[in-house]
Structure 1
Amino acid sequence: MKAIIATVGLDEAGCCGWRSEPLNAVEIEEAISQLADQAFDSANFPYAFLEAFGNKETTIKRLRAGASNKSDLGGVLQTNNIHIATCGNGQVTKTLTALKDSPSTAKAKAKFILATDGTDFEAEELGSGETVACAYRDFPDKFGFFLPLAGITTVRQIAENSFDIRATSRLNRLYVELLKDNPEWGTAERRHDMNHFMARLIFCFFAEDTDIFIGKGLFTDTIAQMSAKDSSNTHEVVGALFRAMNTRVADRDSAGLPRWANTFPYVNGGLFSGNMDAPRFTKIARSYLLHIGNLDWTKINPDIFGSMIQAVAEDEERGALGMHYTSVPNILKVLNPLFLDDLRAQLAEAGENSRALLNLRKRMAKIRVFDPACGSGNFLVIAYKEMRAIEAQINRRRGEPDLRSEIPLTNFRGIELRDFPAEIARLALVIAEYQGDVLYRGQKLALTEFLPLRADNWITCGNALRLDWLSICPPTGVGVKLQADDLFSTPLDQAQIDFENEGGETYICGNPPYKGGTKQNDEQKSDIETVFSPHSNAFKSLDYVSGWFFRFSQYAQHAPASCAFVSTNSIAQGEQVARLWPLIFDRGQEILFAHTSFKWANLASHNAGVTVVIIGLGIKAGRKAVLFENAAGAAPLRREVENISPYLVPFKNLVIEPRSTAISDVAEMVNGSKPADGGNLLFGLDEAQKLRRSDSSANEFIYQYVGASEAIDGALRYCLWIDAENKERALRIEKIAVRVSLVKEMRAKSTKKLTNEGTKTPWAFQQVRQTGREAVLVVPSASSESREYLPIGLLPPGAILSNAAFGFFDAPIWNFALIASRMHLVWIAAVCGRIKTDYRYSSTLGWNTFPVPTLTDKNKADLTRCAEDILLAREEHFPATIADLYDPEKMPYDLHHAHERNDEVLERIYIGRRFKNDTERLEKLFDLYTKMTASAGATKKVKMGAPA
């Protein structure tokens, strides 16, 4: 069975080809659904099931041949994955028990067991004990249960309710098929019409299954009955239904509508106004439409579905279809400390006090939630649903369970750059409002007040860094005096809804695009320049997300508000701290709460997730700040602290800047020597050996050349190292003389003054930092964040340090122990920041600022012994490289133990015991840094941006 691929066009049979990258959740659902629709083949089912979850053809062949099949029950057992067995009728439960008791299941460490007879279907996740039992034809509804088989880290909402992925999958196939036959609908001129058409369909599918339309399946059944099976008039039938929903019942006699369309209610609210055209349908597209309508749309989750569906209309995102879901727990990490926790606390305090409950309800009616990067609106939807839940408790306690909600949907505002997600955000909120009414007031009351839809517009389509937030979400009591005629019509430049919430609260939140400085396109770079250039000239290296933090700080100067954004952790590290946070603090903002670094994972297959922080800003007004310390595999530790620094540690708003010399009594660290040679003084192992063979006297001038990659990966490179004393001997060797002449030629052509001056000494490196006769402690300029320790190497005399690394020359080896410690790693991660996901090292910002207590002779002796033990442990595993030894999955026990001992010795020097966590380490380091820099004789700062 071929896996369905959602990222390419379908052929006439609705099939498509293979792709090498892992399948995403939507593609898996399609493949599983196709498998369930086929006649049951007991012999082939296990292999088809595994293939649907992305197993490669070669893997399936090996299982079929028995080479990798470990089953002892005649089934298929894939090591570390699943044990599957088919069986005779009525034997499913018995077979599942046998799979569970099988010694092979345990030996192969299977995560799942599955048994089916083609009628019934049962499975169990062995780790959790969770089970699935259903009819065979219904097992695609449970596909989310099995997503770990494809390496997808899922969340409970998806595992328990796969509807949103199934709906997205089918809508995507319809979208692709319609564009194939209506290419003009995919052009820039008509893309909005296409997106609007899809939003109308989604509403109709939801409405016909939830009694908004009288008669379950009314929309789908009408199309099936009134459109020809050859699809020749399907577009006309759909268009007639849309016109009916745009026409008031009293006006229909004169509207020329067919009688069969009159059973549909008047909807409008902008959703069914404007262009009533529908794209032409092929037979395949008509079939897709009917299949989508036959899904149970009562199961839709607007907070999940919106994130899924937004990729359907985005060409560049369709390959990631189904990967955009953000889990509710992650969203609540933003919303709870921002304002929801406070509402729940006030609810608890109110108890059964009717007056206190009324005051809380009135307060909630005036709360505005504004997401200036709202996408498909999932933050807004979750905020709305959580507030409705609190309001429902208030109403129950006051004896008013049927009371209409006083929380205006228009108080949930957003800005979204792209047209279709903005459409879906509005629709998702409309659906969330209806579902809330059904849940808390009953379907009868919900239906009486749902239609027609209101024409208010509360989602703005535009560039959040270019638009005026004060106009879109004005200070309370000040409205934008424009009234929208059309909720779902054209993209808007500004908001078109007045607010009636004098004295209300404004909370700004969301997950803006991150984009580091090197990843930004020209338009994004221009956005950042527009935001920051009037206030600072040090904006070019700032992440794109920083624009949202700064825009909020400007907004909050005019409209009291608090915000919380998800961000890459890089804005709380390195030079970005000095460039961004003083601008924010100068505008009166403080960090109210923060989550330290954690993985913001989504549904992508094999996706580890980006490392993020959450930062809440506002005015503390005498309150404590709240710090959530995240650690892998543990719930966040909540701490109330006096202040949270921009490095996200409990400390004052300190900014670390580069220094020319060390604040501690440690060895001097320097950058390696820079060749500026056009590659002519450098060569690999083969070239070095050829030069030695051609003239043995050349060996005197060939030195090992070590930079970051050589120190970590063990690669061998060499260089010519010639000084003034031996240059004459060196230049008598013909091949060396040729290389030197090429260096001179290259430097002479350079436009850089320093390089050009190097023509006077073409036989030497442009910048010489050593003699070549020293022992070298080498510190790579970048190191993977996956390592528990910064790599540091010891090189014997005769090695030349490149300018891609830092080092000490003939330094006491206890300096090695400092660099190799956890203390130094957390300091570097905080104050130096990252290059992509690698730790970025800097001598001026990382080493020269590193606070070390005054070391006694005994301290130095103890640290020397620790450094030696680390080196001896490494030696035991020769020829393993640093990359091998410090792989977190393979680090040898003795080496890890040596590092643990080193950490214990050093940390006892700092505080007399081991630190509890990295936050406590940073607290101590910042405190010591402050004291050391405040003391007399503190060393001079380096100007920001000076070379490290």
Structure 2
Amino acid sequence: MNAVEIEEAVSALAERMFDAAEFPFQFLEAFGNKQTTIKRLRAVKGSTNASDLAGAVLQRNNIHIAAAAPGEVSAAFAGLRASPATAKAKAQFILATDGDTFEAEDLTSGETVACPYADFPNHFGFFLPLAGISTVKQVRDSAFDIRATARLNRLYVELLKDNPDWGTAERRAEMNHFMARLIFCFFAEDTDIFHGEGLFTATVDQMSAKDSANTHEVIAELFRAMNTVIKERAAAGIRSWANVFPYVNGGLFSGSLEVPRFSRIARSYLIHIGNLKWTQINPDIFGSMIQAVADDEERGALGMHYTSRPNILKVLNPLFLDDLREKLAEADDNPRKLLNLRNRMAKIRVFDPACGSGNFLVIAYKEMREIEAEINRRRGEVDRKSEIPLTNFRGIELREFPAEIARLALIIAEFQCDTLYRGQKLALAEFLPLNAENWITCGNALRLDWLSICPPTGTGVKLVGDDLFSAPLDQAQIDFENEGGETFICGNPPYVGRRNQNKEQKDEIKFVLGKNLKSSASLDYVFCWIEKSAHYVQKNSGEFAFVTTNSVSQGTQIPIYWPHLFSMGLKINFAHRSFKWSNNAADNAGVTCVVLGIGLPRTPKYIFDDEQRHEVVNINPYLLPSDVQVVETSSNPISDVSRMRYGNLPGDGNYLTLTRAERDKLIHDDPMFERIIIPLYGAQEFIRGLQRYCLWIDDSDLSSALESEFVRHRIDGVRRTRETSPDPSYNALIHRPHQFRDRNLGERMTILAPTICSEAREYLPTAVFPGRIGTTNQAFALYDAPLWNMALIASRLHLVWIGTVCGKLKTDYRYSNTLGWNTFPVPTLTDKNKVDLTRCAEDILLAREAHFPATIADLYDPEKMPADLREAHERNDEVLERIYIGRRFKNDTERLEKLFDLYTKMAASAAPKRADRGTKERAS
């Protein structure tokens, strides 16, 4: 269940007759517990109810609930807190209620809720962890926004059910425009914009029939009144009961005034929505939630997908807000400096080219209004009208409804700021009629000219539709002289990795990036926004900052794109290192994000780690304070380590591969096969303990092997596979169908590393196999290498290096010999260092052996890793890290900074070597 569905279920529970015996189970069901779970809690025998209190219900690791006798809530609550079972079962929450009073506590944070029973749905966000939803504080505290979204969603679905034609592609925009008008009316009637609390809802309730037959006609008449200036209403025949509404204009009520027909249910939903307290709306949160109402694909995650205010401020603060606040502090009470700052702010443009419902723009506007209000307070001008125009907050959005909501959210934010800083009287006096200017462009940002939409100075193109509030616009409608103003580009563009891009997105990457980059097809979609922003600020100064996935600062995308960006004279001026997206439902994969601030070089530069800010001289694409901009692939190791080869590509159609049973039968029939059958390992085989074998036939053994009909059949299969392959390199191998394409083999020992490794593992799994074994192209191998090489591969140092320079496939580490191993900087090792590392590798192998037959997958599960194996790895890390700096590193950031520093020196001193194109090894 998503947050909106939970809110609906909790609200429905509060409206039922209170049943003390059933309440605990009903409450848990409202938070998504399945009937099988509830049944086990109810059971008399074998119950999962861990409570030690009569009549109470305790769900382990979640909540202890007591339905109290009338007037005994406090006593029941104290009993829950004192209960040994509460602590033993690790309950996060305790809750007691008698159907009149409601008390709850989060035992991990100490936060409490105490309210009348009927009001507990207002606090449903407090309990969202019960549903596995990890939330930031704003989601938890924005009960109104989620509740309003839930009610509007219910109304939207009901209206489409009764008006199916309004759900078609031809009329969906009309339906969305109708919803935007309703949202404005609900807000306006609760903030006295309509000069009467609840006026819109009350009028619809009084003037439309209870059977809803004419509800659409009443609403249409109200809309018509709001679109007609007062002096023209008599001639227009506006009904008297509608004539009390003010003239709104602004394009919101222009165009078609048709309203979908209402059923009884839809009418009751509308009245119920109108009775909510719309003064509590948070436009930055609500806007992102409501856009999902009109999107069939997003509705399943309603209320969960939006960029939270803390994440937005990670972008906006270092981009320009921190500078404005610093200038405010410097100005102190100096009237001239305060005036200069206010004049500067009036010319700042904030531009979000993927604005969605406008939450970046709304928060930027609200933060700037707060600074301006403080300036006015210090200058003794608290009633002064704001000089920060909404038209300076530009956006581009592909979809029509979010574009409408973005403009509406900014209008609401402006009114709220005026009310907060200047008082409601002045706010109301200047709010209506709305301005007809439109500054949110609906269109494809990657195909539009940004300079026409957000020119740095001068007057922009004025190409508009007939209906300013809903028609798709090719360009912005409004512009004015803004000489000397600054433009800051910001947002959270769609990133879309290469494997998930549709044809249109691939075409747009080619359109935006293809003319400058040969390998643009390998880049994430978000680089299109980075590229267009780079060209914008290169020509017009300014700066841009985006929150995006950390894939843009890792792996093979770095050498493809970043040297190109730096060649434009731009630098990374600030960056937030990787942080987890913190406000989505439990089924989210846990997207890891970064923030990049890019522009013409400026100082100082800052790197942010959580709440810590580090001043640095340079920031490279890996988000490290290093002069190394790109780690390039290397055909040979830059350190004195053994050469790692790519595993053997069979190219055999699996005909040379054997099962254990096939291997045993061949050897039973002819012991000679024991010499030409060897174990075969790729990543899955050595990590999961799978057994496979292969025919490894030297030319000298071919005639003997062909005496077996089974082997002849297998070799014929290889020949057919290679003959019919569309790959010419396979066709060229038909003269040796008895052999893998590649023939790398260790005689004494082979050390393996996987091509792909789960991000969940704390160490890169590696394995050592004695004797002759075959390898596949799902692993990398060191053949007959000294064992101390394994200690390097198994170290934390090596894992953080490959995680940074090799990047990831989805969320898994993607290994590469030429990019991960050959570039890994290792100090010169003494004989003693090598002996010590060899012992560490042996200790790791012995610790694994002690847990036979557990697989690598079992042993390196972070939740189940044996203590002795973890200790062996810790010793290995300590020995290796003392070689680097004489002590353990404090964290991964310090590890990377040291590795990049060492890489800089080693790469500079290494003589460039041309890759041997004839070698059998390949980079991943």
The equivalences for 1:33-48 within 5 A come to: 33-48=11-26
Q: Specify whether residues 39 and 682 from structure 1 end up closer, same or farther in structure 2 by C-alpha distance, changes over 3 A only.
A: same
Q: What does the per-residue CA deviation read over 1:870-899, in whole Å, with 9 as the maximum and x for residues that have no partner?
A: 111222222222222222222222222222
1:421 aligns with 2:402: yes
| Structure 1 unmatched runs, 5+ | 1-22, 630-634
Q: Is residue 666 from structure 1 mapped to residue 646 from structure 2 by the alignment?
A: no
Match of 1:813 among 787, 792, 809: 787
Matches within 5 A, 1:258-297: 258-297=239-278
Distance verdict in 2 for CA 1:878–1:314, change over 3 Å? same
Contact 2:646-2:923 within 8 A present in 1 as well: no
What's the CA shift string for 1:743-778, capped at 9, x where partnerless?
A: 11111112322211222111111211116x341100
Which residue is equivalent to 1:189?
A: 170
1:131 to partner: Cα distance? 0.8
Cα pair distance change 1:807/1:628, threshold 3 Å: same
Q: Is the 8 A contact 1:705 1:799 kept in 2?
A: yes
Tell me if the contact between 1:269 and 1:486 (Cα under 8 Å) persists in the aligned partners.
no
Q: Does the 8 A contact of 1:144 with 1:160 survive in 2?
A: yes
Distance 2:916 2:21 in 1: 72
Taking the TM superposition and a 5 Å limit, the aligned residue runs for 1:63-212 are 63-66=41-44, 67-74=47-54, 75-212=56-193
Task: Specify the alignment match of 2:229 in structure 1.
Answer: 248
Check 1:794–1:653 CA distance in 2 against 1; reply closer, same or farther (3 A cut).
Answer: closer
CA contact (8 A) 1:208 1:217 kept: yes
Superposition pairs of residues 298-337 of structure 1, within 5 angstroms: 298-337=279-318
Contact conserved, 2:255 with 2:466, CA < 8 A, in 1? no
How far has the Cα of 1:798 moved from its partner? 3.4
What is the rounded CA distance, in whole Å, between the counterparts of 1:939 and 1:905 in structure 2?
Answer: 32
SS of 1:540 mapped into structure 2: helix
- TM-superposed CA distance for 1:940, in Å, is 3.4
Count of equivalent residues: 918
Q: Counterpart of 2:813? A: 839
Q: Which residue of 1 aligns with 2:524?
A: 543
Residue of structure 1 aligned with 2:483, choices 482, 488, 502: 502
* 1:32 counterpart residue number: 10
Deviation of residue 692 (structure 1)?
A: 5.2
| Map 1:705-744 → 2, pairs under 5 A | 705-744=680-719
Deviation at 1:914, TM superposition (A): 2.1
Which position in structure 1 is the counterpart of 2:833?
Answer: 859
Structure 2 counterpart of 1:585: 566
Contact 2:517 2:561 in 1 (8 A): no
**Distance in structure 1 (CA, Å) of the matches to 2:856 and 2:400:** 49
Q: Are 1:385 and 2:366 an aligned pair?
A: yes
For the 8 Å contact 2:574–2:605, the answer to whether it is kept is: yes
1:932 Cα deviation after fit: 1.8
Residues 936/79 of structure 1: CA separation in 2 closer, same or farther (3 Å cut): closer
Q: CA deviation at 1:397?
A: 1.0
Is the contact made by 2:750 and 2:770 (CA closer than 8 Å) also made in structure 1?
A: yes
1:559 paired to 2:540: yes
8 Å CA contact retained: 1:369, 1:508 = yes
The C-alpha deviation readout for 1:588-625, integer Å capped at 9, x for no partner, is 1110000111112323134352011110001234x121
Asked if 1:883 is matched to 2:828, the reply is no
- 1:508-559: CA deviations, max 9, x gaps? 0011101111110011001110001111221011000111111111111221
CA distance in 1, matches of 2:668, 2:184: 79
**In 2: Cα distance, 1:326 partner to 1:690 partner:** 61
| CA distance in structure 2 between the aligned counterparts of 1:143 and 1:474, rounded to whole angstroms | 45
Deviations 1:22-48 (A, max 9, x none): x11011011111111111111111001
1:751 lines up with 2:731 in the alignment: no
Give the TM-score normalised by structure 2: 0.97
C-alpha separation between the residues in 2 aligned to 1:380 and 1:690?
A: 71
Q: Aligned to 1:476, what secondary structure does the other structure show?
A: coil
1: distance between equivalents of 2:398 and 2:666?
Answer: 60
Which residue in 1 is equivalent to 2:495? Answer: 514
C-alpha contact (below 8 Å) 1:87/1:115 kept by paired residues: yes
Partner Cα separation in structure 1 for residue 169 and residue 35 of structure 2: 40
222, 237, 244: which is aligned to 2:218? 237
2:911 partner SS: coil
Is the Cα contact below 8 Å between 1:475 and 1:558 reproduced in 2?
A: no
Residue in 2 that maps onto 1:362: 343
What's the offset of the Cα at 1:842? 0.8
What's 1:16 paired with?
A: none
| Cα distance, 1:182–1:939 mapped onto 2, change above 3 Å | same
Q: Conserved in 1, the CA contact under 8 Å of 2:353 and 2:491?
A: yes
Q: CA offsets, 1:262-285, max 9 Å, x none?
A: 111111201000010011111111
**TM-score normalised to the size of structure 1?**
0.95
Q: What root-mean-square deviation, in Å, do the aligned CA atoms of Structure 1 and Structure 2 show?
A: 1.7
Contact 1:477 1:503 in 2 (8 A): no
Amino acid of the structure 1 residue aligned with 2:798: H
Identity over the aligned pairs, expressed in percent? 66
The answer (yes or no) to whether the contact 1:602–1:609 under 8 Å persists in 2 is: no
Contact (CA 8 Å) 2:646, 2:922: kept in 1 or not? no
Q: Partners of 2:222 and 2:667 in 1: how far apart?
A: 85
Does structure 1 conserve the Cα–Cα contact (< 8 Å) formed by 2:556 and 2:807?
A: yes
Distance in 2 of aligned mates of 1:310 and 1:244: 27
For the Cα contact (< 8 Å) 1:564–1:615, is it kept in 2? yes
CA contact (8 A) 1:244 1:261 kept: yes
Deviation at 1:933, TM superposition (A): 2.2
Residue 580 of structure 2 aligns to a residue whose secondary structure is: strand
Deviations 1:670-703 (A, max 9, x none): 0111111112122444554555566665444332
Give the counterpart letter for 2:839 in structure 1: R
Counterpart for residue 19 of structure 1: none
Distance 1:687 1:257, change over 3 A: farther
Paired position in structure 2 for 1:397 = 378
How far apart, CA to CA, are the structure 1 residues paired with 2:279 and 2:418?
14
Is the CA contact (8 Å cut-off) linking 2:67 and 2:96 kept in structure 1? yes
C-alpha separation in 2, matches of 1:686 and 1:531: 55
Confirm or deny: 8 A CA contact 1:152 1:607 kept in the other structure. Answer: no
Per-residue CA deviation, residues 240-262 of structure 1 (Å, 9 max, x unaligned), is: 11111101111110112221111
**Per the alignment, in what secondary structure is the counterpart of residue 376 of structure 2?**
helix
Q: Which residue, out of 611, 624, 646, partners 2:604?
A: 624
Indicate conservation of the 8 Å contact 1:483/1:497, yes or no. no
Give the stretch that moved more between structures: 924-933 or 107-116. 924-933
Once residues 101 and 545 of structure 1 are traced to their aligned partners in structure 2, the CA distance between those partners, rounded to angstroms, is 53
1:309 partner SS: helix
Matched, 1:872 2:846: yes
Contact 1:777–1:816 (CA<8 Å) still a contact in 2? yes
Q: Name the CA distance, whole Å, in 2 between partners of 1:688 and 1:25.
A: 56
Unaligned 5+ segments in structure 2 are: none
**For residues 476 and 690 of structure 1, what CA distance do their matches in structure 2 show?**
82
Residue 442 of structure 1 corresponds to 423
Tell me how far 1:484 sits from its aligned partner. Answer: 7.4
Deviations along 1:351-406, one digit per CA (max 9) or x if unpaired, are 11111111111111111110111111111111111111111111111111111111
3-state secondary structure, aligned to 2:357: coil
User: SS where residue 238 of structure 1 aligns?
Assistant: helix
Cα distance per residue 1:444-483 (max 9 Å; x no partner): 1100000011011111111111111111111223433557
Q: Distance in 1 between matches of 2:184 and 2:526?
A: 33
For residue 399 of structure 1, give the secondary structure of its aligned residue in structure 2. coil
| 8 Å contact kept, 2:461–2:477 | yes
SS in 2 for 1:726: helix
AA partner of residue 533 (structure 1): G
User: Counterpart of 1:123 in 2: which secondary structure?
Assistant: strand
SS at match of 1:563: strand
The alignment partner of 1:312 has SS state of helix
Matched to 2:635, the amino acid is S
Q: Please state whether the residue corresponding to 1:83 is helix, strand or coil.
A: strand
